[in-house]
């Protein structure tokens, strides 16, 4: 009842607000886009005159360009005015995770909608539920507030769902998750289309980089850790983009001897972006927290300005401590 009341409270706050901006984390994935755009379209459906925008620091990945209303997703422009009275953060464990959009309008009321266990409830209204995806929360928001579903909204939410469940293979999948998927299909979503467009439509760069990762992967036997480091130089060789590397950490964990996977990518700026996955009781959210990052027990990430060697050493030290 409390959660339902919060979803109604969020609806009422949106209804009474005039200028609204939705934002999400840097390097947006399918759940960030699916949840944010799905929320935008659902509000526009019932409040067509509402001034609402979806603004991100980074471009959306090409894997979501098939979504019909993807052109409504804006990239932040420092020369534009983003004053608003309400900001809605979706799929962001912390405001800092949104980068340039973290403080667009300092006096704005903040709604925080997320599913990461590391979220500290930073909003004026918080709806943080540790379920499959933020898209599942937006689905609940739509159902509780009797907003009609349509195919465009459904495709956004289904994309977010398969992004964060690994197409229903992760342990965050529940009976309710499958019910949501079934309801979206009943409302016009073609699940095979979403899988084909979002998961199976790889660029040349992505294909080469994934192949290279599988070939060059290191395996730390004692820690049961599959590890791969990608330099910016290597990525640039194929004109690769950040989105071309998104599935590498998932492919590493497929190795049958591995309990954990760790993918570290060098940024153009010289910093590093780390992604972690777990099959076991090891909580990779704790590892990400060593570097100021976070996420979930089974999936987490971070950014760091330490060297590649220092980062790997800290991860291995943590795992050695866990083992012993």
Q: Is the pLDDT of residue 142 over 80?
A: yes
pLDDT at res. 324: 63
CA 131 – CA 275 distance, rounded (Å) = 20
pLDDT at res. 2: 56
Please give the C-alpha separations between residue 303 and each of 182, 196, 230, 288, 297, in angstroms, as whole numbers. 36, 30, 14, 9, 17
* Closest residue by Cα to residue 259 from 312, 322, 168: 322
The structural domains of the chain, ordered by start, are: 2-199 (3.90.1640.10), 204-323 (3.10.310.30)
Helix runs in 117-150, H state only = 134-144
Rounded to 5 degrees, φ, ψ at 178 are -70, -35
Rounded to 5 degrees, φ, ψ at 220 are -95, 105
pLDDT at res. 98: 94
Q: What ranges make up the beta strands (E) of the chain? A: 19-23, 51-56, 73-75, 86-90, 109-114, 125-128, 218-220, 225-230, 260-266, 272-278, 294-295, 299-304
pLDDT at res. 157: 98
Strands laid side by side in the 73-75 sheet:
73-75, 51-56, 19-23, 86-90, 109-114, 125-128
Please state, rounded to an integer, the average pLDDT across all residues of the chain. 94
Mean pLDDT, residues 26-46 taken together? 96
- Token output for 165: 């469940």
Q: Answer yes or no: are the C-beta atoms of 100 and 74 closer than 8 Å.
A: no
Beta-strand pair 19-23/51-56 = parallel
Per-residue pLDDT of 247-292, as tens digits, reads 999 999 999 999 999 999 999 988 999 999 999 889 999 999 999 9
Q: What is the pTM of this model?
A: 0.89
**Within 13 Å of residue 61, how many CA atoms lie on the same side as its CB?**
30
Beta-strand pair 299-304/272-278 = antiparallel
DSSP 71: G
pLDDT at res. 269: 86
CA 315 – CA 312 distance, rounded (Å) = 5
Q: Is the pLDDT of residue 128 over 90?
A: yes
pLDDT at res. 196: 95
Mean pLDDT, residues 212-231 taken together? 97
Per-residue pLDDT of 59-100, as tens digits, reads 999 999 999 999 999 999 999 999 999 999 999 999 988 999
Per-residue pLDDT of 292-315, as tens digits, reads 988 888 889 999 999 999 999 999
Q: Answer yes or no: are the C-beta atoms of 295 and 284 closer than 8 Å.
A: yes
Beta-strand pair 272-278/51-56 = unpaired
pLDDT at res. 295: 85
Quickly list DSSP for 254-265: TSTT-SEEEEEE
* Greatest alpha-carbon span in the chain: 60
Sorted by sequence, the CB contacts under 8 Å of residue 58 that are 6+ apart come out as: 26, 27, 28, 75, 99, 242
Rounded to 5 degrees, φ, ψ at 24 are -150, -175
For the chain, state the CA radius of gyration.
19
Sorted by sequence, the CB contacts under 8 Å of residue 159 that are 6+ apart come out as: 30, 31, 33, 34, 64, 67, 135, 194, 198
pLDDT band at 176 (very low <50, low <70, confident <90, very high): very high
Q: Is the pLDDT of residue 171 over 90?
A: no
């Amino acid at each position: 009842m409390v959660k339902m009341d919060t979803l109604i409270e969020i609806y009422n706050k949106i209804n009474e607000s005039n200028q609204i901006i939705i934002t999400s984390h840097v390097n947006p994935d399918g759940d960030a886009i699916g949840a944010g755009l799905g929320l935008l379209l659902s509000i526009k459906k019932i409040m067509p005159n509402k001034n609402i925008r979806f603004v991100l620091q980074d471009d959306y990945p090409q894997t979501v360009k098939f979504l019909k209303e993807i052109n409504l997703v804006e990239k932040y422009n420092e020369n534009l005015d983003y004053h608003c009275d309400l900001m809605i953060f979706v799929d962001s464990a912390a405001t800092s995770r949104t980068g340039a959009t973290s403080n667009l309008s300092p006096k704005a009321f903040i709604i925080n909608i997320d599913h990461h266990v590391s979220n500290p409830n930073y909003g004026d209204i918080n709806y943080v539920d540790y379920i499959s995806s933020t898209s599942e929360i937006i689905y609940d928001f739509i159902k509780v507030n009797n907003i009609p579903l349509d195919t465009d909204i459904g495709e956004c939410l289904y994309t977010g769902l398969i992004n964060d469940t690994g197409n229903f293979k992760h342990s965050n999948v529940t009976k309710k998750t499958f019910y949501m998927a079934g309801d979206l299909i009943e409302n016009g979503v073609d699940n095979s289309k979403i899988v084909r467009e979002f998961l199976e439509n790889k660029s040349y760069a992505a294909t080469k980089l994934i192949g290279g990762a599988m070939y060059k992967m290191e395996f730390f036997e004692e820690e049961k850790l599959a590890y791969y480091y990608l330099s910016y130089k290597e990525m640039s060789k194929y004109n690769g983009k950040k989105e071309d590397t998104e599935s590498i950490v998932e492919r590493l964990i497929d190795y049958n001897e591995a309990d954990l996977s760790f993918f570290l990518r060098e940024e153009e700026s010289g910093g590093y972006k780390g992604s972690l996955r777990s099959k076991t009781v090891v909580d990779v959210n704790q590892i990400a927290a060593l570097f100021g990052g976070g996420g979930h027990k089974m999936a987490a990430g971070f950014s760091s300005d330490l060297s590649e060697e220092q980062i790997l050493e800290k991860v291995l030290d943590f795992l050695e401590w866990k083992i012993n």
